[in-house]
């Protein structure tokens, strides 16, 4: 598969359905690091995160028969919101499975899109496993949040936009959960001959991809509570993103909860942007590695602000 072509096709396919999000120059971070720092604002994407790109690309590649059979997915967060919106926009039927203890706030947002919601289990891995089995039993397509070539190609369209918005990208910082975002962007940039150092950023409290890269195989790591709930959780056995991350991601960094909180607060205070914990991870990693840029004032650094879906009360506790 020519991945660069796949991403280019995804870009054309989804363009009418997604926003080209702004690339904002950060005067504060640029001054702090003595280089050029840009924020790619996917918190301003429809549904509030980058996830819409992958979901929309996947749905638009389904055959007529697959559309007729309906789709199934599982998510309490950004992937579920993207799936609900995209199904509604395209007139497709489908079911979003959620754990029985899903928060009322998340349920309200999903119901805004008239999504069909069903409940199973008490934690996300259990719910996802059941949803996959239901998709097999019913002959429906399962929409993975990351473990799918069309999902990854859709996320790669972020890199297409970046190359339109800035001449060169010397460093790219992106948060990592299952790896769909960073593998899609990194593979496209490398295949486009961009001389970009790609940094994968994770919370210490949920570092499965990092631990797997270190081990040379997918491992099950403990997941502790984290502000970066959008990247929290394990990785499916055999996930294609693991090999892509091994090949295309140049460096890895882990950040603490205090560092994530400080990053969210800084971006709100200086940019007046509401970002979720997962987006704060990329900023926190950049701040940890800021000395790397002190002798490279011409460097262009892009921090992917992957989403802005954070509960009001949680954001108030973090920032104020």
Q: Note down pLDDT in tens along the chain; length 320 residues.
A: 689 999 999 999 999 999 999 999 999 999 999 999 999 999 999 999 999 999 999 999 999 999 999 999 998 789 999 999 999 999 999 999 988 877 777 788 888 888 899 999 877 778 888 999 999 999 999 999 999 999 999 999 999 999 999 999 999 999 999 999 999 999 999 999 889 999 999 999 999 999 999 999 999 998 899 999 889 888 888 999 999 999 999 999 999 999 999 999 999 999 999 999 999 999 999 999 999 887 788 999 999 999 999 988 889 998 88
Q: Answer whether 0.85 is exceeded by the pTM.
A: yes
Tokens of 123: 């934690």
Please tell me the predicted confidence (pLDDT) of residue 308.
95
What single string gives the DSSP state of each residue in 214-250?
Answer: HHTS---------S-GGG-S---TT-HHHHHHHHH--
Span 52-142 CATH architecture: 3-Layer(aba) Sandwich (3.40)
Please tell me the predicted confidence (pLDDT) of residue 185.
98
| CATH tag for 3-50+148-319 (out of 3.30.750.24, 3.50.50.60, 3.40.50.11600, 3.40.50.1100) | 3.40.50.1100
| CB-based burial label for 162 (10 Å; 0-12, 13-18, 19+) | buried
Q: What is the largest CA-CA distance in the chain?
A: 58
pLDDT in tens, 210-260: 999 999 999 999 889 999 988 988 888 899 999 999 999 999 999 999 999
Please tell me the predicted confidence (pLDDT) of residue 119.
92
User: Quick check: helix, strand or coil at residue 307?
Assistant: strand
Tokens of 174: 């992106």
Q: Which part of the chain is CATH 3.40.50.1100? A: 3-50+148-319, 52-142
């Amino acid at each position: 598969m020519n991945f660069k072509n796949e991403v280019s096709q995804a870009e054309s396919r989804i363009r009418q359905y997604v926003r080209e999000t702004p690339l904002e120059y950060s005067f504060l971070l640029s001054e702090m690091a003595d280089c050029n720092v840009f924020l790619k604002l996917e918190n301003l994407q429809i549904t509030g995160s980058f996830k819409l790109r992958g979901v929309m690309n996947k749905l638009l590649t389904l055959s007529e028969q697959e559309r007729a059979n309906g789709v199934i997915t599982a998510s309490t967060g950004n992937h579920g919101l993207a799936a609900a919106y995209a199904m509604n926009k395209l007139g497709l039927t489908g079911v979003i499975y959620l754990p029985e203890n899903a928060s009322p706030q998340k349920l309200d947002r999903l119901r805004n899109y008239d999504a069909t919601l069903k409940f199973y289990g008490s934690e996300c891995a259990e719910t996802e496993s059941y949803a996959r089995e239901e998709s097999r039993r019913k002959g429906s397509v399962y929409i993975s949040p990351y473990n799918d070539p069309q999902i990854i190609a859709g996320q790669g369209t972020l890199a297409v936009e970046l190359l339109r918005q800035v001449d060169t990208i010397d460093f790219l910082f992106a948060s990592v959960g299952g790896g769909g975002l960073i593998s899609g962007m990194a593979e496209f940039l490398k295949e486009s001959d961009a001389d970009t150092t790609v940094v994968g950023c994770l919370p210490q409290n949920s570092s499965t991809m990092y631990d797997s890269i270190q081990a040379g195989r997918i491992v099950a790591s403990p997941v502790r509570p984290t502000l970066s709930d959008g990247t929290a959780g394990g990785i499916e056995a055999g996930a294609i993103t693991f090999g892509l991350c091994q090949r295309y991601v140049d460096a890895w960094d882990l950040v603490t909860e205090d560092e994530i909180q400080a990053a969210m607060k800084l971006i709100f205070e200086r940019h007046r942007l509401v970002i979720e914990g997962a987006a704060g991870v990329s900023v926190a990693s950049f701040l940890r590695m800021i000395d790397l840029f002190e002798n490279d004032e011409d460097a262009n650094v892009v921090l992917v602000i992957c989403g802005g879906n954070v509960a009001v009360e949680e954001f108030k506790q973090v920032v104020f």
